[in-house]
Chain A
Amino acid sequence: MIEIQGIYKKYKKEYIYENFSLSFPEGQVTVLLGPSGCGKTTLLRMLAGLESYEKGTISGLSGKRISFVFQEDRLLPWLTVSENLELVLRAFLTTDQAKERVTQVLTLLNIPETRSMMPEELSGGMQRRVAIGRALAYDGDIMILDEPFKGMDEALKNEVLPKLAKSWEESGKTVILVTHDLSDARKLSHSIYELSGKPVKCRIKSNIEG
């Protein structure tokens, strides 16, 4: 269980999180909904250790590897798709194992032909899939996704979404996902929380058994 307890986080002299607590059950998909700029991304960044906070604790993350799909694709434009994915695997896989993992992921996402392409040669939707592919290939214990379907058209999203849901169900991964789309949230999650206000308040939106 990942637990956020009594977090205080300031942004430009104003508290956006004040004594905020929330927990994410292990092996479940938790979706965070909320209006733009309410602090969802900040929460994900605090979980990933990219953002500091004034007070409080976040537990259940020590020794865990995190796969993060950022709001922006953050692909390296001077590396091919396959090199972008292999780069995050080099620390713990051999070159052959990394190549095999990349092939599996690109095939799963239905973009094996992009392997030796440069990111700039891909459409926005394809770049997004590559960014998701990097997170899947890394295979972290926890998967954090910030608006993973941003820029994808409905058809593409409907193609990717069930594959992700299936992969998470099979692996029993802890997933924390931020989205604007309630229907995406309902399709994917065990729990949905709605964040709003300043400082952020959290309320459970619905509970759907996966």
Chain B
Amino acid sequence: MKPSTILRSSKSSGNPLESSKGPFKRALIVLFWLLLWQLAYWGVGKDVVLPSPVHTFQTLFQLILTKEFYLDVSATMVRVILGILISFASGLITAVAAYLIPLVKDILSFAVQVLKSTPVMAVIIFALLWLASGNVPIFVCFLMCYPVVYTNVLSGLESLSRETIEMSQVYHIRHKDKIRYIYLPFVSPHIKSALSLITGLSWKTVVAAEVLSSPKFSMGYNLLNAKVYLETEALFAWIIAIVSLSVIFEKIVKRLLFRGRRRHHHD
């Protein structure tokens, strides 16, 4: 697909259904799921197995009012952002190196393939042996997100046609102009797609790693505590907090990434 086509399709924010959803319809959908939850609660009849929506939201509001909640949220958020930044920077740099040097590509392809097929839990257990508990989630996030960035950017670079490269050679286009006017516009949809994918993935891996590595301040550690002490309302409340933050974070990143078609003017 030509980059212009990708850019244009990204302008419409991806999901065609999303634009048709009004706030009223959205509220109705939320209400439907809450109702289903309440019915299931009545059906089960045990708070320890399935808490009621009312109890869960009460617990969530209590949590929000504590200072610890914000410390835990910010610690997790910092880990997510660091994980994204490290995996994005290293994925981008190594993809460019792999594109330019075939030997680098051969070496990295093997590592990326291994990383792609390794279960997250295996990575977390290994990381626990090597690193301090606070750094495990960042490392795990990096290992899970790096292959996504590397693969996307490299496939973007490799799909640039030989014809375009030859044209730039014949007309002696300067390296900086090639990067700015040929490579960047061509690869940017692939970079955006990689970033968009890893924002969701990063939350999942960071929280999973936090559950197992139990750093002092973390959302994942609170999940573990709630499970150990059978505080199911707290468990649900933390899950809602994690999912909400992850969705908001993803929406902000996507909004920043797909602000419509951006062209490189030099007028």
Complex contacts, A68 vs chain B, CB 8 Å: 167, 170-171
Residues facing A in B243-267 (CB within 8 A) are 263-267
What is the number of contacts between chain A and chain B, taking CB atoms within 8 Å? 64
B57 part of interface (Cβ distance < 8 Å): no
B9 to chain A, nearest CB (A): 14
The answer to whether B266 touches A91 (Cβ under 8 A) is no
The answer to whether B173 touches A78 (Cβ under 8 A) is no
The answer to whether A118 touches B4 (Cβ under 8 A) is yes
A209 to chain B, nearest CB (A): 31
Q: Given the complex of chains A and B, what is the CA–CA distance between A68 and B263 in angstroms?
A: 26
Q: Given the complex of chains A and B, what is the CA–CA distance between A22 and B169 in angstroms?
A: 25
Q: A90 and B174 in contact (CB under 8 A), knowing A78-B263, A95-B266?
A: yes
Q: Given the complex of chains A and B, what is the CA–CA distance between A134 and B159 in angstroms?
A: 24
A72 part of interface (Cβ distance < 8 Å): yes
Q: A78 and B185 in contact (CB under 8 A), knowing A83-B265, A83-B266, A90-B177?
A: yes
Q: Given the complex of chains A and B, what is the CA–CA distance between A76 and B166 in angstroms?
A: 12
The answer to whether A90 touches B265 (Cβ under 8 A) is no
Which residue of the partner chain A has the closest CB to B182?
A76
Which residue of the partner chain B has the closest CB to A72?
B163
Complex contacts, A76 vs chain B, CB 8 Å: 164, 181-182, 185
The answer to whether A91 touches B170 (Cβ under 8 A) is no
When each residue 56-84 of chain A gets 1 if its CB lies under 8 Å from chain B and 0 otherwise, what string results? Answer: 00000000011110101010111100110
Complex contacts, A91 vs chain B, CB 8 Å: 172-174, 177
Complex contacts, A48 vs chain B, CB 8 Å: 170
Q: A87 and B173 in contact (CB under 8 A), knowing A77-B2, A78-B4?
A: yes
- Contact pick for A50, options B7, B166, B264, CB 8 Å: B166
Q: Given the complex of chains A and B, what is the CA–CA distance between A62 and B68 in angstroms?
A: 72
A193 part of interface (Cβ distance < 8 Å): no
Q: Given the complex of chains A and B, what is the CA–CA distance between A185 and B188 in angstroms?
A: 43
The answer to whether B174 touches A86 (Cβ under 8 A) is no
B3 part of interface (Cβ distance < 8 Å): yes
Interface residues on A, range: 20 to 34
B146 part of interface (Cβ distance < 8 Å): no
A120 part of interface (Cβ distance < 8 Å): yes
When each residue 160-204 of chain B gets 1 if its CB lies under 8 Å from chain A and 0 otherwise, what string results? Answer: 000110110111111001000110011000000000000000000
Interface residues on B, range: 20 to 34
When each residue 129-168 of chain B gets 1 if its CB lies under 8 Å from chain A and 0 otherwise, what string results? Answer: 0000000000000000000000000000000000110110
Q: Given the complex of chains A and B, what is the CA–CA distance between A86 and B263 in angstroms?
A: 15
Q: Given the complex of chains A and B, what is the CA–CA distance between A87 and B174 in angstroms?
A: 9
Q: Given the complex of chains A and B, what is the CA–CA distance between A67 and B172 in angstroms?
A: 10
B179 to chain A, nearest CB (A): 12
Which residue of the partner chain B has the closest CB to A95?
B266
The answer to whether B174 touches A74 (Cβ under 8 A) is no
The answer to whether A50 touches B169 (Cβ under 8 A) is yes
Residues facing B in A16-39 (CB within 8 A) are none
Q: A77 and B181 in contact (CB under 8 A), knowing A50-B166, A91-B173?
A: no
Q: List 21 A-B contacts (CB under 8 A).
A: A49-B169, A50-B169, A50-B170, A65-B172, A68-B167, A76-B182, A76-B185, A78-B263, A79-B181, A79-B185, A83-B181, A83-B266, A86-B266, A87-B171, A87-B177, A90-B173, A90-B174, A90-B177, A91-B172, A120-B4, A134-B171
Known A76-B164, A78-B2, A138-B171; further 8 A-B contacts with Cβ < 8 A: A49-B169, A70-B166, A70-B167, A77-B4, A83-B264, A83-B267, A87-B181, A90-B173
